Amino acid sequence: MKSQSVLKFAATALLVPVAGFAIAQSGSHLNAAFAEPSLTQASLIAQNTPDRPSEGNQRKGRWGNKGGEMFKELNLTPDQQAKIKAIREQEKTASTEQRNQMRAAFDRMRSLSAGNATDDQLRAQHQQVQQLRQQAGDRRFETMLKIRAVLTPEQRTKMAELMQKHHQGRHRGLRDRADGMMPQR
């Protein structure tokens, strides 16, 4: 009986990071947004270019439909739109394999935690997951830098303002839900 309780506790402790990853995957392109908003906004906005509408929640990210609206507020030139689209297409191609690797690593972590894996095996798998997450974060950051280079200083400033406004609204919504004011999703 005691060993079952210990096993349940260990499985829960291991699955919490996995659940965090699943949540992060739903908006993974925003993971670095809180660290440096001025670098991440362009990547988010570029995802919803007028010539490439959103395709479901994954494309919308945490912005919902506002990405396209914010993109328009930057008044990007056709040349900027084309450059950003090319950067995003290159990133999409490169990141597909990495996402598959991350999913496989998390599936393996779930299998190990549900089975009779040793602590060392779980630690090794956790390390692999962390390395893949770091690589994904580094890739997103580099993409953001490339997109940032396309923007004018005025557009960067405007983007920072839009992100600040977005984050204020988002955090207020989270507080309201925590207080029971808004229904949980």
Kindly report, residue by residue over 28-44, the tens digit of the pLDDT. Answer: 333 333 333 343 444 44
Is it the case that residue 46 has pLDDT exceeding 60? no
Cα gap 27→4, rounded to integer Å: 35
What are 115-171's pLDDT values in tens digits?
Answer: 999 999 999 999 999 999 999 999 989 988 998 899 999 999 998 888 788 888 766
The whole-model pTM stands at 0.55
Place of tokens 């390390």: 127
What lies within 8 Å, CB to CB, of 40 at 6+ separation is 29, 30, 32, 33, 140, 144, 163
Mean pLDDT over 74-86 rounds to 91
